């Protein structure tokens, strides 16, 4: 066989392998089927949970559950054995899921997501126990809007509304884009490895009647853990006064990057609340390239804002959550 024939043979083999891989990825990336939720009985199901329950266990094809505009008064859970679900609402402020459980962070969430490879778009999850803040007649309690513990999950144009412990970003790699997150105390908390991009952080600390709020309570427990919260190109708005975060565990890590901060942010910025023996130097709390009246770092605690350029670049790049390319394998053509 001539050199040209060998070259042609090798080229065809590589082409077939790549084409086969692309075909498998394409099959994986398209919606296998769409289920419609409509309370008026014009869809496949009346409730979101019944639609999720219809997805077979150990599902490995993307299934879209389209949810008609409206208010759905139910607790919704995606169990760990039902990955590759795409929940798609009619709009952030058009499709609402509302529930009012409280007291336990393990069981009170309006939306619980334990599965890997989940996409949620254009809907809002509300825990109504303390809604409206100060006007519900209920004492402030732990009352989650969402609990996210699966890996490789993305949220686009979603709302998470609560007062205390609104969003439990438990664990796993997560991406939040153009989301609205509202609360007063520890309302973004957990050990997730997450990027929040162009999100609105809405503080309602005035409902605390003179007490100061906390946006984050991150719970990294070891310097070897890769998790942390990164807020990129976000904005902090609202009322009352708030800390950017406090340490729930010994090695908490939170970064605000290129974020607009209103004057509600207290001058200290951060609290070492959960750190034993006051060893704040093991915390990673930082603000870089931020703006607005709340971004003045002159009065910040001494142990904040000490990241090297290399670590800052590492934490604020998409590779922080996507070094394996899982986001590129998700169905971005469905998100338009």
Question: Is the peptide bond preceding residue 132 cis, with omega within 30 degrees of 0?
Answer: yes
pLDDT of residue 17: 37
Residue 74 maps to a domain: yes
Domain that holds residue 275: 32-321
pLDDT of residue 332: 57
Asked whether the beta carbons of 29 and 330 are under 8 A apart, the reply is yes
Report the DSSP pairing between strands 253-257 and 111-113: unpaired
Q: d(Cα 69, Cα 59) in Å, to the nearest integer?
A: 26
Residue 49 maps to a domain: yes
Residue 180 maps to a domain: yes
pLDDT of residue 328: 85
pLDDT of residue 2: 57
Catalytic sites, residue numbers: 186
> Cα separations (Å) of 29 from 25, 33, 78, 84, 327?
6, 12, 20, 10, 11
CA atoms within 13 A on the CB side of 170: 19
Residue 24 maps to a domain: no
- 124's enclosing H/E stretch is strand 124-127
Q: d(Cα 46, Cα 98) in Å, to the nearest integer?
A: 15
Which ranges of the chain would DSSP assign to H, the alpha helix?
Answer: 3-29, 48-53, 309-316, 319-322, 326-329
Residue 280 maps to a domain: yes
Reading the chain (336 residues) residue by residue, the pLDDT tens digits are: 554 444 444 444 333 333 444 444 344 557 789 999 999 999 999 999 999 999 999 999 999 999 999 999 999 999 999 999 999 999 999 999 999 999 899 999 999 999 999 999 999 999 999 876 556 678 888 999 999 999 999 999 999 999 999 999 999 999 999 999 999 999 999 999 999 999 999 999 999 988 999 999 999 999 999 999 999 999 999 999 999 999 999 999 999 999 999 999 999 999 999 786 678 999 999 999 999 999 999 999 999 999 999 999 999 999 999 998 999 888 554 544
Residue 328 maps to a domain: no
Asked whether the beta carbons of 90 and 67 are under 8 A apart, the reply is yes
Residue 55 maps to a domain: yes
The number of domains in the chain is 1
pLDDT of residue 318: 97
Q: Supply angle C-alpha 191, 140, 206, rounded to 5.
A: 90
pLDDT of residue 14: 38
Q: What is the pLDDT of residues 259-307, one digit of tens each?
A: 999 999 999 999 999 786 678 999 999 999 999 999 999 999 999 999 9
Asked whether the beta carbons of 330 and 25 are under 8 A apart, the reply is no
The model carries a pTM of 0.90
Report the DSSP pairing between strands 235-239 and 76-78: unpaired
Residue 52 maps to a domain: yes
CATH of residue 291: 2.160.20.10
Instruction: For residue 211, give the nearest of 239, 252, 179 by alpha carbon.
Output: 239
């Amino acid at each position: 066989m001539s050199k040209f024939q060998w070259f042609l043979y090798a080229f065809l083999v590589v082409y077939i392998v790549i084409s086969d891989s692309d075909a498998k990825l394409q099959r994986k990336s398209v919606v296998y089927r769409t289920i419609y939720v409509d309370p008026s009985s014009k869809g496949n199901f009346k409730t979101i949970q019944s639609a999720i329950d219809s997805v077979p266990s150990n599902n490995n094809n993307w299934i879209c559950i389209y949810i008609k505009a409206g208010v759905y008064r139910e607790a919704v859970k995606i169990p760990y054995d039902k990955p590759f679900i795409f929940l798609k609402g009619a709009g952030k402020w058009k499709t609402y899921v509302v529930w009012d459980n409280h007291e336990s962070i393990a069981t009170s969430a309006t939306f619980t997501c334990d599965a890997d490879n989940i996409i949620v778009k254009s809907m809002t999850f509300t825990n109504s126990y303390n809604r409206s803040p100060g006007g519900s007649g209920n004492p402030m309690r732990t009352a989650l809007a969402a609990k996210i513990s699966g890996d490789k999950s993305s949220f686009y144009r979603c709302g998470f509304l609560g007062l205390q412990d609104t969003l439990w970003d438990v664990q796993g790699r997560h991406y939040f884009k153009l989301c609205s997150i509202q609360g007063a105390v520890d309302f973004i908390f957990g050990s997730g490895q997450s990027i929040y991009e162009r999100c609105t952080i809405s503080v309602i600390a005035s409902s605390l009647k003179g007490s100061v709020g906390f946006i984050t309570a991150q719970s990294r427990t070891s310097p070897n853990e890769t998790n942390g919260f990164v807020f990129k190109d976000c904005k902090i708005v609202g009322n009352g006064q708030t800390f950017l975060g406090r340490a729930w565990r010994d090695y908490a890590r939170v970064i605000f990057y290129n974020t607009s901060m209103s004057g509600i942010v207290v001058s200290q910025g951060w609290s070492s609340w959960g750190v034993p023996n006051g060893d704040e130097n093991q915390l990673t709390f930082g603000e870089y390239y931020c703006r607005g009246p709340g971004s003045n770092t002159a009065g910040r605690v001494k142990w904040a804002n000490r990241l090297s350029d290399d670590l800052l670049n590492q934490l604020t790049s998409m590779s922080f959550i996507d070094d394996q390319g899982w986001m590129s394998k998700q169905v971005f053509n469905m998100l338009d």
